[in-house]
Amino acid sequence: MAIPASLRQDLCDIPVLEDPGSLRMRSRDFFWFSPILKETLDDKRADIVVVPRDKADVMRVAAACARNRVPLTVRGGGTGNYGQAVPLAGGVVLDMTKLDQVIWHRPGAGRFGAGARMLDIDRALAPAAHELRFYPSTRQHATIGGFIAGGAAGAGSCTWGQISDPGAVLAVEVVTIEEHPRVVELRGRDVLKVMHAYGVNGIITEVEVPLAPSHPWCERIAAFPSLAAAARFAHAFTECDGIAKKLVTVHDPQVVPYLRRLAPYAGPGQAMVIIMVSEPQAEALELLAADHGGEITFRRGAEEARQAAFAEISGLQPLYEFTWNHTTLHAIRIDPSITYLQLRFPPANNLELVDWVAERFRDEVLLHLEFQRRFGKVTCSSLPLVRYRSAERLDAIMAELDAKGVAVSNPHTFVLDNAGWKRVDAPQAEFKRMADPYGLMNPGKLKHWQAEDMQAIA
């Protein structure tokens, strides 16, 4: 769409980007992990990227878009996997990364600009010995606002659960898209109105989250004779409430060769467990691993692991960058035909179901397991690598997993309310009516809103 001259006028001196390279790069995320999304989203482009310097700028952009009826898609680090931040109808992409302040923090909680990158937040918190409870494996680039609007869980979930759990986010501040934008504070359960809503119902400008006391997280890799043995150890270890831990990831022996830099730490046919544990308790971890037939093949001390995370030393990247959906990134670099799925195993029989999936889909669906705690119970989720054959075959795999009781969320759609984690409940659509009355935000992403979106844009 052509950007109206009146919008440009309204934007005044707010920095914008309009060169083809910036428009392309800031119109993309990691949708290309999916062959299906790649086909649909590759050519979508913003008409202008606006980079607000502060909240006042955000409000001016919101007002300008409302007045001129121009679509607006919010962007954090652009690390989403489902094209959440891709502007389907063009218009404005709003780059939030300059709203990166640490507003305040004290023991137990902190408030941050929505565009603050999660690694930078932890860097700022370190002198006070606090840290974010959890972060996605994209910690280096992902923003805290983008994590709340588009993410789910990550390193730390083995102790603290998921971003949507009660108490995981204390408050968010949201700017509405109206001629006279409002600033709305959502606290407690109201946070769910914009949680995992892909930025369809308000611009998140500030985020308040609980913090944890920081630990000296050291890194270990343990090799096990089979996926089943590794999974049983990982489950038992995650259940050890007395051991402070940040990460417990299991890789099937077939996944290990795709993690090129880690592959030497498992023998042929061995499964691998990647662990971040509080350094004084590493010995307790190692004893438990030995009880389960595991052998520690890699040790990195907490100080060195910290330096690797904060890019203070070169060499092997932090081990969390070999877990969660980084696994897909490593695999696609070696075999571009690989894609992935998103599974959640029920706590009651997760290990049985893991065995079943591994046996049933053998070399087609390759499991890695992310152990986590949910409502007092230990379970695991997985973003398994899939040797892609066709969209129909993916559907058939998902249907079979679903029928067996493994919760499947289809990562090959950009539409909210299609399945699993992307299901939208009433408060989100209701809140959109108030926060985005012209249906301008991220049009095309929220099911049932397309018609209204298009009407507003026309």
Ligand X SMILES: Cc1cc2nc3c(=O)[nH]c(=O)nc-3n(C[C@H](O)[C@H](O)[C@H](O)COP(=O)(O)OP(=O)(O)OC[C@H]3O[C@@H](n4cnc5c(N)ncnc54)[C@H](O)[C@@H]3O)c2cc1C
Residues that bind ligand X (CB under 6 A): 29-30, 73-81, 84-85, 96, 114, 136-138, 142-143, 145-147, 149-154, 198-199, 203-204, 324-326, 329, 442
**What is the sign, positive or negative, of the torsion defined by CA atoms of 165, 167, 170, 171?**
positive
Q: Minimal distance in Å, beta carbon 409 to ligand X? A: 11
127 touches 153 (CB < 8 A): no
210 touches 333 (CB < 8 A): no
Residue 376 vs residues 79, 161, 238: alpha-carbon distances, Å: 30, 9, 11
Single-letter code of the amino acid located at 236: A
Residue 455 vs residues 58, 70, 71, 84, 458: alpha-carbon distances, Å: 24, 12, 12, 21, 5
Q: Minimal distance in Å, beta carbon 321 to ligand X? A: 8
Beta bridge partners of 343: 382, 408
Q: Minimal distance in Å, beta carbon 58 to ligand X? A: 9
Question: Could you tell me how far CA 376 lies from the centroid of its own chain?
Answer: 22
**Which residue's CB is nearer to ligand X, number 260 or number 404?**
260
Residue with tokens 């809140």, as numbered in its chain: 431
245-251 β-sheet, strand order:
295-300, 217-224, 271-278, 245-251, 368-374, 377-382, 342-344, 407-409
Q: Minimal distance in Å, beta carbon 138 to ligand X? A: 4
**Which residue's CB is nearer to ligand X, number 150 or number 439?**
150
Q: Minimal distance in Å, beta carbon 400 to ligand X? A: 25
Structure tokens at 359: 């046996």
**Which residue's CB is nearer to ligand X, number 294 or number 444?**
444
Q: Minimal distance in Å, beta carbon 312 to ligand X? A: 22
Beta bridge partners of 185: 173
Residue nearest to ligand X (CB): 146
Q: Minimal distance in Å, beta carbon 226 to ligand X? A: 25
**Which residue's CB is nearer to ligand X, number 166 or number 280?**
166
Single-letter code of the amino acid located at 359: E
HEC readout, 234-302: HHHHHHCCCCCEEEEEEECCCCHHHCCCCHHHCCCCCEEEEEEEEHHHHHHHHHHHHHCCCEEEEEECH
**Which residue's CB is nearer to ligand X, number 322 or number 388?**
322
**Which residue's CB is nearer to ligand X, number 96 or number 398?**
96
**Which residue's CB is nearer to ligand X, number 294 or number 384?**
384
Beta bridge partners of 386: 339, 365
Q: Minimal distance in Å, beta carbon 95 to ligand X? A: 9
112 touches 161 (CB < 8 A): no
Q: Collapse the DSSP code of 329 into the 3-class scheme (helix H, G, I; strand E, B; otherwise coil) and give the result.
A: helix
**Which residue's CB is nearer to ligand X, number 294 or number 411?**
411
Q: Minimal distance in Å, beta carbon 370 to ligand X? A: 8
Q: Which DSSP helix (H) or strand (E) runs through 446?
A: none
**Which residue's CB is nearer to ligand X, number 152 or number 367?**
152
**Which residue's CB is nearer to ligand X, number 303 or number 335?**
335
Contacts of 25 (CB under 8 A, 6+ apart): 78
Q: Minimal distance in Å, beta carbon 326 to ligand X? A: 5
b/e sequence 346-379, b meaning 16+ C-beta within 10 Å: ebeebbebbbebbeebeeebbbbbbbbbbeeebb
**Which residue's CB is nearer to ligand X, number 3 or number 441?**
441
Q: Minimal distance in Å, beta carbon 76 to ligand X? A: 2
Structure tokens at 343: 């599974």
